[in-house]
Chains A and B, each alone.
Chain A
């Protein structure tokens, strides 16, 4: 979606004739300038992150490093500091996304294929679930985890994160599944295939792009989540990168800003890459927020 979604051209100007300064043309340079100024404001805070990561003596200020160095990256690339937290993040995010996708597909199938009085209220309840402010339930969830003795358990945290992602995932999956015509399955039913076989062999392969979008969407959310693992995972060995970065750099007195920036970049790269994949793959369909609008 960052790749300029296709839009209906105004009067279909011939290719290559969209240069600036054409009289009466909509593409004007004041808009370009205004956009570039706004864009610069958005880039500025990120500029610090990039410059500081290559600067051995980085502080808060944005400056071009005197000598470009990879020392910061080398310093954080230790098993305890970076690799284990990243592995925990991967485990947590992939597990969450897999559980979410599985449960969402199973739920979406009957909702998409059968008519029932049950469907509409269920979908509205799910929609209400997408609106739940998760930070508000973290205190009670902590209490629940204490009572069930689930605190500091990666699988339990995974299930909780799957539950928080489910409403949106069900909503998106059902929209994608509605796009697969029932007539294709009917042929399989005639051949004696069961509903679940038809789902597995016909519906899912046809909507694999949509399933990919849902998986990546949940994965990105889980990867970037700080508050949930911060509250539910206590031992350092189990904490994902989001929490370890905070506890290492946030609480150990003198902060090595260059290393913090280097860690942040290494930790962010996977989700940036995944986002680009979704944005390219989904093309103009604006999958993420389009799904939000139902």
Chain B
């Protein structure tokens, strides 16, 4: 009897199989392949492409000695902290809070503008951002109109340009998360505080924010993960340049693997990125579990 029910139970889960196969072959497979290949000298073409040799930790030793890797790691941290944790997160919260106070027509109009940048295909958003920040682009037109200096943003301030572009592109997500979270805050609580004489800022800091802290944590984790993986925006705007000045880890991994043909070294960079992603991913799941308890 137990064997039969066990068999039946297994049979019930048969429909999971197609998804399981896809996930194993195309997601889990490449992840394990990455860690394994990062210990070899596998190349894009030539002898090393067919017969890669085991080189142990050589790629990782190269990472530590290569001056570009620490630079790239630092730029990635700067990119994530600047555009996601500070930019998208705070601007998204500000927009959500303002939208509750503004007229509905205004808030839905502005909501549409913010979401448009997010829904557009990433390559189109990247072209628009490229034109905006280029030497004779819209930003410099505006600065010129105000009588201010007009630097060549993509060349002199590439990180500032890609950080701002990613804030523009991604803030909609945080805004939507915070709008939903604020809608769940019971209005009675804020009203009670208002009667007690709490001002707008006090209510925000001591009542609203603590009540939506779960959403804040979740949002921070998710936008960190999304921003960590941004490639297209940077690739189109600066291609990591000038002279690696905006080469974040995804760009570095791509360049090493496909431009210089060193798949082994490229996967070592990718493996580091995967590990960083895994840390945040596990953090995100622990947050969700705590919320459920």
Contact = CB atoms under 8 A, between A and B. Distances in A.
A87 interface: no
A104 interface: yes
B198 to A, nearest CB: 14
Given A128-B282, A129-B23, A242-B123, A114 B12 contact: yes
Q: How large is the interface on B (under 10, 10 to 19, 20 to 34, 35 or more residues)?
A: 35 or more
Contacts of A41: 168
Interface stretch (B55-63, B81-89, B96-104): B96-104
Interface residues of A, number: 105
A42 B116 contact: yes
Contacts of A144: 29-30, 33
Given A42-B117, A135-B231, A226-B122, A140 B30 contact: yes
Nearest to A104: B19
Contact of B135 (A42, A60, A128): A60
A26 B101 contact: yes
Most buried by A among B34, B127, B137, B280: B127
A127 to B, nearest CB: 6
Contact of A45 (B9, B117, B141): B117
Contacts of A254: none
Contacts of A31: 98, 101-102
A interface, over-half SS: helix
A13 interface: no
Contact of B129 (A18, A43, A45, A118): A45
Contact of A136 (B23, B119, B187, B229): B229
B185 to A, nearest CB: 10
Interface in B1-40: 9, 12-13, 15-16, 18-20, 22-23, 25-27, 29-31, 33-34, 37
Contacts of A193: none
A44 B266 CA distance: 37
B225 interface: yes
